[in-house]
Amino acid sequence: MLALLAAGVGCSGRPVLEGPAPEFAPPPSAPAAAVAKPASRGTLYRDDVLAVIDRGFPRFLQMVDVEAKLWDGKFVGWRILALRPVDFWESVDLRVGDVVTRVNELPIERDTEAFAAFQSLKAAPRLVVSFEREGQPRTLDFQIVNRPGGVAAR
């Protein structure tokens, strides 16, 4: 579940071409024990992915602050300003200052694109987050699998 949220980092309540997002109350901090651990490094359980999606895009947006990064007036990606709660994000290799450019090769510039990328994870076999750190391209890549003996994909 931790890495799923990385997928939406480029998604912002403050789209480039539209007004500010509605204000939401901050989400309650989940105790560390409530955060599901990935099956292995680079693997996510599908039921955890679906749980995040089912809580909704607005709820996810409460956990990340971003701003649009432009180069020569053109959108490059979403610069991460804050990730919260911190313990929720600690095992995801994303930091304040990173710029998320794509999710599963999908554009995320507009709010509708970001929402589509978020929803696409329901059936996606992988979560691939493309981002830049200090100007260098990087990628997070997670396989999405069913939990052994657990919940199957919907």
Which pair of structure tokens corresponds to residue 74?
Answer: 């053109």
Domain boundaries, the chain: 2-15+36-145
State how far the alpha carbon of 34 is from the alpha carbons of 2, 8, 29, 30, 105, in Å: 11, 20, 10, 6, 30
13-22, 37-46, 92-101, 124-133: the lowest-pLDDT one: 13-22
Q: What does pLDDT average to over the chain?
A: 77
For residue 47, name the pLDDT band (cuts at 50, 70, 90).
very high
Read off the pLDDT of each residue in 45-50 and give the average, rounded to a whole number.
94
Q: What is the mean pLDDT of residues 23-38?
A: 38
Sign of torsion over alpha carbons 14, 18, 20, 22? negative
d(CA 103, CA 114): 8
Residue 15's pLDDT band (cuts 50, 70, 90)? very low
Identify the CATH homologous superfamily for domain 2-15+36-145.
PDZ domain (2.30.42.10)
134-147 pLDDT, tens digit per residue, is 999 999 999 999 99
- Is the per-residue pLDDT at 43 higher than 70? yes
Q: Which helix (H) or strand (E) holds 69?
A: strand 64-71
Residue 63, pLDDT > 50, answer yes
Q: How many CB atoms lie within 10 A of CB 102?
A: 18
